[in-house]
């Protein structure tokens, strides 16, 4: 009699399933937003690093060979 009804003690399975679904949905949205924001931040950081490198080269702090080597490393890191 109780086995086929929600009143039979198995009602909690529906609640747990619903909580898992919404928890995973929210976690997925948070992950997606963080990934998209981090992608933009990474490219901005690389651009800033290249600008600093160019400034150091312009001031004569590093040689042309050092500049080219570091610039190439930055480009490879962004791939």
Compute the average pLDDT of residues 49-56.
Answer: 93
pLDDT, tens digit, for every residue of 63-72? 999 999 999 9
* Half-sphere exposure (Cβ direction) of 51: Cα atoms closer than 13 Å: 6
What single-letter DSSP state applies at residue 79? -
Is 79 within a domain? yes
Is 65 within a domain? yes
pLDDT of residue 76: 85
Is 67 within a domain? yes
Is 7 within a domain? no
Round to whole Å and give the CA distance between 76 and 79.
5
Report angle CA 47, 53, 59 to the nearest 5 degrees.
Answer: 140
Q: How confident is the model at residue 11 (pLDDT cuts 50, 70, 90)?
A: confident
* Structural domains of the chain, count: 1
Is 50 within a domain? yes
Is 69 within a domain? yes
Is 36 within a domain? yes
By CB atoms closer than 10 A (0-12, 13-18, 19+), residue 16 is exposed
pTM of the shown model: 0.47
Compute the average pLDDT of residues 44-49.
Answer: 83
Percent of the chain with pLDDT over 90: 47
């Amino acid at each position: 009699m109780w086995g086929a009804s929600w009143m039979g003690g198995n009602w909690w399975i529906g609640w747990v399933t619903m909580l898992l679904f919404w928890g995973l949905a929210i976690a997925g949205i948070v992950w997606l937003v963080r990934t998209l924001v981090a992608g933009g931040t990474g490219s901005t950081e690389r651009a800033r690093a290249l600008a600093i490198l160019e400034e150091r080269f312009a001031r004569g702090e590093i040689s042309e060979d050092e500049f080219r080597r570091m610039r190439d490393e930055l480009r490879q890191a962004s791939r």
